[in-house]
Amino acid sequence: MTLTTHAVMGAVIGQAVGHPVLGFTLAFATHLLIDMIPHGDSKMAENFHVHKVKQKQAIAYVMVDAITAIFIVLILANTKDVESLRAYTWGIAGGILPDLMVGAADIFKTPFLDKFHKFHFFFHNFFTKRFGDVPLAHALLAQIVFIVILQRVL
């Protein structure tokens, strides 16, 4: 999923539980679970991690996504009635941290990050390895619809 989807999902989880530690933990776990849904980026991830091709394209994709995520959560925080800013922000952190740890694992080759990288992609590739992926454009459109629905919960 996009960082934007994970960030909004984390914000909603944080807001729903109203507790920073619980929001962070549930958002972190939810990241891994919703990543199991095929979301069109398997080829890009494989190109980046395995074949080491089109890496600038993947980095550009993540940068645009990260910038979008920052502004979406800012807009939501400034337009919605956020009851606990602490839970909201810790939920966002838990929601996006798994992908940031994957990015860190690509740079800092530590045993812990390497294990986490494999753990993350166990979930991420769970269905796509067996049944294939969906087109990225369809997945992005579905995530936009999902975010529009999710932000109404806030």
Q: Please report, as ranges, the residues that interact with Zn ion according to CB under 5 A.
A: 35, 98-99
- Counting every residue written for the chain, the total comes to 154
Minimum distance from residue 23 beta carbon to Zn ion (Å): 18
Structure tokens at 144: 């936009």
Which residue from 69, 86, 33 is spatially nearest to 151, judged by alpha carbons? 69
**132, 123 Cβ separation under 8 angstroms:** no
Residue 60: partners with Cβ closer than 8 Å, 6 or more residues away: none
What is the closest distance, in whole angstroms, from the C-beta atom of residue 74 to Zn ion in the complex?
Answer: 22
Q: Which DSSP state fits 47?
A: I
- C-beta of 47 vs 84, nearer to Zn ion: 47
Residue closer to Zn ion, measured from CB, 18 or 103:
103
Quote the least distance from Cβ 34 to Zn ion, whole Å: 9
Residue in this structure with the two tokens 């080759």, named with its chain if needed: 109
Q: Which is nearer to Zn ion, 83 or 114 (CB)?
A: 114
Determine contact, residues 27/92, Cβ cutoff 8 Å: yes
Closer of 54 and 119 to Zn ion (Cβ) = 119
Q: What is the nearest approach in angstroms of Zn ion to the Cβ of residue 133?
A: 14
